[in-house]
Amino acid sequence: MAAVIAIIAGISALVVMFAQSGAGASVRVTVDGALYGEYSLSKEQSIFIESASGYNRLLIKNGSAYMAEADCPDKYCMDYKPVSRGGETIICLPHRLVVEVTGTRDAHQPDVVVP
Amino acid sequence: MTTRQAAYCAMLTALAMIFGYVEALIPFGFGIPGVKLGLANIVIVLALYILPAYQAFAIQLMRIVLVSFLFGNLSMMIYSLAGGILSFLAMDLLKRADGFSITGVSIAGGVSHNLGQLIVAVLVVQNLRIAFYFPALMIAGLVTGCLTGMLADRIKRVMESYK
């Protein structure tokens, strides 16, 4: 039993790792399956997400995003490690909120262009 | 239902509720937010082996409904019911199939519990991305199911020696 489950978990872990790519470019926030907004990871910002069920505050810093505040009862979304790689997610189930990292940052592009 | 069975049902339901409450005090997540040890599963596995299946199922349902009403909310009850019912069916099936140890049955319970909750989460949030937690939740179910199964095995042996 344990071996069978370990093998299934191993194979699906490989699929997931394959789907998660390098450094992401932006985060897409969806509430209830509908797009709430897309925010660049290269800009430091604080995003206040308000929905019928409550609010969350997402912070973007140093190219990664994390949940800084939420008024949900369990606060599991605040336990997530900061996300930065494509395909990584932060989920707040009570608020039906998903933050996912999308796109890949081109390594050959400069981070900042100083005019 | 004999008097002994009625007493066992009441005692095990109370014990499962206490375990569900105590669990919140034990930090155990190994990196995956929301993963719990599932101590109440010890009680359900034990009930499956010392009581008829329908009584064990009643304990599972009573535990979920009571704990959700006392300490949780409606959405928590939906997740718990999905995980609880699926894991009970999986464990009952494997127990009937014979050839699986208590620990094996409990592992199947832990994994299917997480699977049931994941399915509900995908339906609620309407985002298939969540399914990416499948491997992590499977491994979590494997570890927690193994731990609770070993404990249930120990307790069952002690209970049998007191008969």
Confidence of residue A106 (pLDDT cuts 50, 70, 90): low
CATH of domain A23-104: 2.60.320.10
Domain edges within chain B: 3-161
Q: Which of B127, B142, B153 to mutate to test the interface with A (most CBs of A within 10 A)?
A: B127
Tens digits of per-residue pLDDT, B143-152?
A: 999 999 999 9
- Report residue B66 as tokens: 């009571």
> B131 or B91: which carries more pLDDT confidence?
B91
**Domain made up of B3-161: CATH architecture:** Orthogonal Bundle (1.10)
Tens digits of per-residue pLDDT, A84-101?
A: 888 888 988 888 899 988
Nearest to B91 by CA among B107, B79, B76, B72: B107
Residue A5 contacts B where some CB pair is shorter than 8 Å: yes
Backbone angles phi, psi at A82, to 5 degrees: -55, 140
pLDDT at residue A107 above 70?
no
Of B73, B124, B142, the CB nearest to A6: B142
Q: In angstroms, rounded to a whole number, what is the distance separating the alpha carbons of residues B82 and B30?
A: 23
Min Cα distance A112 → chain B (Å) is 31
- Report residue B17 as tokens: 């509720």
Nearest to A27 by CA among A59, A65, A81: A65
Domain edges within chain A: 23-104
Q: Which of B129, B130, B144 to mutate to test the interface with A (most CBs of A within 10 A)?
A: B129
> B16 or A13: which carries more pLDDT confidence?
B16
Report yes or no for ipTM above 0.85.
Answer: no
Residue A108 contacts B where some CB pair is shorter than 8 Å: no
